[in-house]
């Protein structure tokens, strides 16, 4: 079953484009990464999925239901973490968590206590007095405490220290193993490649590619390293070329024969051709779009 499905989803803010013709499919039980640089349209897509903004064109469904028609019903089974966590001033952590639970007509106190314990979050502290990272943790507990079917997380780890980031992903993986679907936006490519099963890349409001992390890694692009090169070379279809200490490093996206033919006329001591890291591949998608 498709947990999230959008077709031709478009949002314009007046004359300026938010997103255009976004087609996105997220299956039940997926751990889906939504990747793109700042201002690419990640948050706009998420806001449309949550009914915070209304679409200009297209269709957006969550749990197979139209988000604008069945918003309240859909939101009862969604845990949302905004990119910036803001809370009501003067409230204690416990009061905020209790407020969110009561608005859902649920008692989440046991789950909230356990999550706070794992995140080392003092429930009796006033949110105003918490650091940015701890405020983020409050947002995370708010999104997780009611055990929803779908987690929509916008830049979830910004502000968290590495230990807490790991803890956060451990908890998400536990939820995912129990059948929950995770949809997270990020511009930190390493975390997406490490934890997600599928991903989509968005840039300038349009989806560039959407596939499994495994398939996204096979782009035909290779990372080439030549050692003992005495001069900077000019190679067709080479990107990200760096020459330092007699070592030439570049991403090659052309035919292998052409590269070998070119290298025949070049003097070098050693060559290494590997698949690039996923980070590099995503950078390659960004660059491709720019070109």
Partner 1 sequence: MILYLHELKRNKLSLIIWASVISFMLAVCVLIYPEMSGQMNEMSEMFADMGSFSAAFGMDELNFGEFIGYFGIECGNTLGLGGALFAAVTGISALAKEQKDKTAEILLTLPVSRSKIITSKLLSVFTQVLILNLCICVVTLLTILIIGEEIDLGVFFLLMLSYFLMELEISAITFGISAFISKGGIAIGLGITFAFYFMNILSNLTEETEFLKYITPYGYTDSALIINDKVLDITALAVGGLFFAVGIILSYLKYTKKDIK
| 116 versus 213: smaller Cβ distance to partner 1 | 116
Residue 150 within binding range of partner 1, rule CB under 8 A:
no
Q: Least distance from C-beta 96 to partner 1, angstroms? A: 9
Other Cβ atoms less than 10 A from the Cβ of 14: the count is 6
Residue 80 within binding range of partner 1, rule CB under 8 A:
yes
Tell me which residue of 253, 266, 248, 193 sits closest to 222, measured CA to CA. 253
List of long-range contacts for 130-135, beta carbons under 8 Å, 24+ apart: 130/93, 132/159, 133/159, 133/160, 133/161, 133/164, 135/85, 135/87, 135/159
Residue 59 within binding range of partner 1, rule CB under 8 A:
no
| Dist CA 256 CA 245 (whole Å) | 25
Residue 88 within binding range of partner 1, rule CB under 8 A:
yes
- Per-position b or e across 260-288, b if 16+ CB within 10 A of its CB: eebbeeeebeebeeeebebebbbbbbbeb
Exactly one of 99, 188, 253, 254 binds partner 1 (CB under 8 A); which one?
Answer: 99
What is the separation of C-alpha 212 from the centre of its chain, rounded to a whole number of angstroms? 13
Q: Least distance from C-beta 76 to partner 1, angstroms? A: 4
Instruction: Output the CA angle 36-252-286, nearest 5 degrees.
Output: 15
Please, which residues bridge with residue 248 across strands?
226, 243
- Are residues 182 and 120 in contact, defined by beta-carbon separation less than 8 angstroms? no
Q: Least distance from C-beta 146 to partner 1, angstroms? A: 10
Exactly one of 1, 15, 16, 90 binds partner 1 (CB under 8 A); which one?
Answer: 90
Exactly one of 13, 69, 170, 236 binds partner 1 (CB under 8 A); which one?
Answer: 13
| Dist CA 213 CA 197 (whole Å) | 6
- Integer-rounded Cα Rg, in Å, for the chain is 22
Sign of the dihedral defined by the CA atoms of residues 241, 277, 166, 160, in that order:
positive
Exactly one of 3, 42, 47, 193 binds partner 1 (CB under 8 A); which one?
Answer: 47
Residue 142 within binding range of partner 1, rule CB under 8 A:
yes
Q: Least distance from C-beta 289 to partner 1, angstroms? A: 25
Q: Least distance from C-beta 170 to partner 1, angstroms? A: 24
Question: 224: helix, coil or strand?
Answer: strand
Residue 87 within binding range of partner 1, rule CB under 8 A:
yes
Residue 103 within binding range of partner 1, rule CB under 8 A:
yes
Residue 84 within binding range of partner 1, rule CB under 8 A:
yes
Residue 56 within binding range of partner 1, rule CB under 8 A:
no
Residue 151 within binding range of partner 1, rule CB under 8 A:
no
Residue 104 within binding range of partner 1, rule CB under 8 A:
yes
| 76 versus 272: smaller Cβ distance to partner 1 | 76
Which residues contact partner 1 (rule: CB under 8 A)? 13, 47, 50-54, 71-73, 75-76, 78, 80, 82, 84, 86-90, 99-100, 102-104, 139, 142
């Amino acid at each position: 079953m498709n947990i999230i499905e959008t077709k031709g989803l478009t949002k314009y803010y007046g004359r300026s484009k938010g997103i255009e013709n976004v087609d996105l499919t997220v299956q039940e039980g997926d751990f889906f990464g939504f990747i793109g640089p700042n201002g690419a349209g990640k948050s706009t897509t998420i806001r449309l999925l949550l009914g915070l903004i209304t679409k200009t064109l297209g269709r957006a469904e969550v749990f197979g239901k139209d988000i604008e028609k069945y918003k309240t019903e859909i939101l009862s089974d969604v845990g949302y973490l905004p990119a910036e966590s803001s809370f009501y001033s003067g409230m204690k952590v416990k009061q905020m968590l209790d407020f969110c639970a009561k608005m859902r007509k649920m008692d989440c106190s046991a789950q909230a206590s356990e999550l706070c314990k794992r995140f080392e979050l003092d429930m009796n502290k006033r949110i105003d007095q918490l650091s940015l990272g701890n405020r983020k943790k409050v947002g995370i507990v708010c999104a997780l405490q009611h055990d929803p079917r779908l987690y929509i997380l916008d830049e979830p780890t910004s502000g968290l220290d590495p230990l807490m980031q790991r803890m956060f992903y451990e908890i998400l993986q536990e939820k995912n193993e129990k059948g929950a679907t995770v949809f997270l936006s990020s511009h930190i490519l390493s975390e997406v490649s490490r934890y997600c099963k599928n991903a989509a890349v968005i840039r300038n409001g349009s989806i560039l590619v959407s596939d499994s992390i495994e398939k996204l890694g096979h782009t035909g692009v290779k990372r080439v390293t030549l050692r003992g090169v005495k001069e900077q070379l000019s190679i067709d279809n080479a990107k990200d070329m760096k020459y330092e200490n007699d070592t030439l490093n570049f991403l090659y996206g052309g035919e292998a024969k052409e590269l070998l033919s070119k290298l025949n006329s070049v003097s070098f001591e050693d060559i290494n051709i590997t698949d690039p890291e996923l980070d590099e591949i995503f950078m390659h998608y960004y660059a491709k779009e720019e070109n």
